Amino acid sequence: MKNWRLVWWVVAVVIFMCLPGCVMAEDSTTCTFGIWSLVPPLLAIVLAFVTRQVVLSLFLGAFVGVIMLEGGNIFSAFLTLLSKYLVGAITDSFHAAILIFLMVLGSVVGIIGRMGGTKALADHIGRLAKNEKTAQVATWLLGIVVFFDDYANAVVVGPTMRPLFDKYSISREKLAFIVDATAAPVTGLFIISTWIGYELSLIKDSYASLGISAAPYDVFLSSLPFRFYEILMLLFVVLIAITGRDFGPMWHAEHRARTTGKVIGDNARPIAANIKMEQVYLGDKEAKAHNAWIPIIVLVVSSLVALWYNGGGPCLGYSFDALREAFSNADSSMAILWATVFTVIVTILLALSQRILSLEETMDAFTEGAASMVPALMILTLAWTISGVIADVGTAQFLVGTLSSRLPAFAVAPLVFLVASLLSFATGTSWGTMAIVMPLAIPLAYNVSPSILTLVVGSVLGGAIFGDHCSPISDTTIMASMSSACDHIAHVKTQLPYALSVQLVCLGLYFLGGFISHSWVLLLIGSLAIVFIVRFLGKPITQTETLAHS
């Protein structure tokens, strides 16, 4: 209660202080807020720290920004926020297509899960495991296969692989870590997922604020080699699995499990995996893996075809350069919407033609899957809203004017990565972090040195996923603990040294990115650093100790 009183006092003081913020620029035609333009994003950041409520924080940050634009008229600002910025964010054709795409993709995930496709796919991969090392590699592989949604990933992988981990006396902490490390990092990387529309929209709007008509999908693809945290974390997980080496609290958890058979600690309080999700199979027939593979393949192939067609592919030809040009020209939001609607039709026909689900059950799964995306849609809409407000109060212009002449190019990406990492860890959300940092980072990078734009885009997205992966208040971190039936605090304590190790390597790579332009060189350096960490910090559980327990 005291925290909430503090929040409202902070908001009231900020509103009062912002009333005289607008002054006329030298040309007497535009209004600028100078340093006060930092208030909306900073308020959103501070409130996110204090309240842990991203939706409320984004809304209040945007509201204060509109109060500034309206000259202190709170009533007029409230109406303008709703009518101009909130409704405007939704009615933008690109944004509207993204919202529909996310709902439909949620429906695809829901129907696949209700058919049992996801469960069968997970069971099939689980059968590949023959010992403790292959069990961990199989879990890593399953986490990559379920790439289309981080929630689906966490809910499916944990319960599926838990019996196998218990069989080979692998700690629940290790299971939770692998589940967590292949949820957000995998979903954030793939070109088709529940995240792609959100990431594309932020990139598009941030470039548009500079007057640059960039193809967001092209920018996204170009930034993939610079998504160091996601790539190196996946490498780190598979190296830990293959070598059997661990360090820090995770080594002690593994030592306990291998030598005593206790997969959880004596004082652990595991979170029960009591999650009602649309991915849970409720049928009485044998689940078939092809009911997951077919929609996934259809989604990927149809997305590529749709991007090619929408970008004028039939007129450009079929060479590699023509394909790249078509992808660059495409309206990515519309293309992936076409592909997703086609995929959901195919998925519905799969369910009905095999008589796995009735028409009523299929539509229930469709509706539940779409409803599961509502929290994401709320954050996304408010992210667009505050992005528009930040653009109008001139936050990016102020930062660019203040820092572009003082900040060296090599410092931009590591600074942005560090800020995004801290914010995402403190708030537990990658989407909220992207919404706040992306509109500020891209203009800053462009004015310091356009050559580092894709590096900085990668640093924003990678830093945002760091917190989503390991923050104790992140939804995916909590879901990883739940699906693995692991003590949540034990999960956070054991995986945090691993996440921080990878983060420090990435921080160094973003620093080097100011001097080295080739992503493959940076990834090679990062990979060698990860190998070094696993080899010299990690140590195995000795065969003698393991055999003694057996």
Average of per-residue pLDDT values in the chain:
79
Q: Which residue has the tokens 């509201």?
A: 63
Asked if 339 and 306 count as a contact pair (C-beta separation under 8 A), the reply is yes
Confidence of residue 391 (pLDDT cuts 50, 70, 90): confident
Write down the pLDDT at residue 458: 93
Query: Which own/partner contact pairs does 157-163 have at CB distance under 8 Å and 24+ positions apart?
Result: 157/122, 157/182, 157/183, 157/483, 158/273, 158/480, 158/482, 158/483, 158/484, 158/485, 159/273, 159/483, 160/119, 160/122, 160/123, 160/126, 161/122, 161/126, 161/135, 162/483, 162/484, 162/485
Residue 19 has pLDDT above 60, yes or no: no
Write down the pLDDT at residue 150: 74
> Which run of H or of E encompasses 261?
none
Q: Which residue has the tokens 């160091």?
A: 228
Q: What is the pLDDT of residues 233-257, one digit of tens each?
A: 999 999 999 999 999 999 999 999 9
CA distances to 32, 256, 400, 402, 540 from 27, rounded to whole Å, are: 11, 70, 19, 19, 68
Supply 376's token pair: 């994401």
DSSP conformation class of 539: E
State percent of the chain over pLDDT 90: 19
Residue 30 has pLDDT above 90, yes or no: no
Residue 459 has pLDDT above 60, yes or no: yes
Write down the pLDDT at residue 166: 82
Write down the pLDDT at residue 420: 86
Residue 439 amino acid letter: P
- Rounded Cα distance between 472 and 457, Å, is 25
Query: How crowded is residue 74: how many other Cβ atoms within 10 Å of its Cβ?
Result: 12
Q: What is the pLDDT of residues 152-166, one digit of tens each?
A: 677 667 767 777 788
Confidence of residue 327 (pLDDT cuts 50, 70, 90): low
Supply 35's token pair: 């340093």
- Rounded Cα distance between 80 and 84, Å, is 5
Write down the pLDDT at residue 54: 64
- Rounded Cα distance between 137 and 242, Å, is 7
The average pLDDT across 177-187 equals 89
Residue 126 has pLDDT above 70, yes or no: no
Better-scored residue on pLDDT, 493 or 328 = 493
Better-scored residue on pLDDT, 207 or 330 = 207
Confidence of residue 192 (pLDDT cuts 50, 70, 90): low
Dihedral sign, Cα of residue 482, residue 483, residue 489, residue 495 = negative
DSSP conformation class of 246: E
Residue 530 has pLDDT above 90, yes or no: yes
Write down the pLDDT at residue 367: 87
Of 62-76, 214-228, 275-289, 299-313, the one with minimum mean pLDDT is 275-289
Supply 359's token pair: 């028409």
Write down the pLDDT at residue 120: 78
Write down the pLDDT at residue 148: 65
> Which run of H or of E encompasses 245?
strand 245-246
Write down the pLDDT at residue 269: 74
Q: Which residue has the tokens 């070094």?
A: 532
Q: What is the pLDDT of residues 462-519, one digit of tens each?
A: 999 998 788 776 767 777 887 787 887 788 889 999 999 999 999 999 999 988 888 8
E strands, 22-94, are 23-24, 31-32
Better-scored residue on pLDDT, 256 or 285 = 256
Better-scored residue on pLDDT, 342 or 98 = 342
- Rounded Cα distance between 331 and 76, Å, is 35
| 93 alpha-carbon distance from chain centroid | 23
Q: Tell me how many degrees the CA angle 424-56-50 measures, rounded to the nearest 5.
A: 55
544 burial class (0-12, 13-18, 19+ CB within 10 angstroms)?
Answer: exposed
Write down the pLDDT at residue 28: 42
- Rounded Cα distance between 82 and 511, Å, is 41
Asked if 250 and 499 count as a contact pair (C-beta separation under 8 A), the reply is no
Confidence of residue 433 (pLDDT cuts 50, 70, 90): confident
Per-range mean pLDDT, top range of 366-375, 419-428, 498-507: 498-507
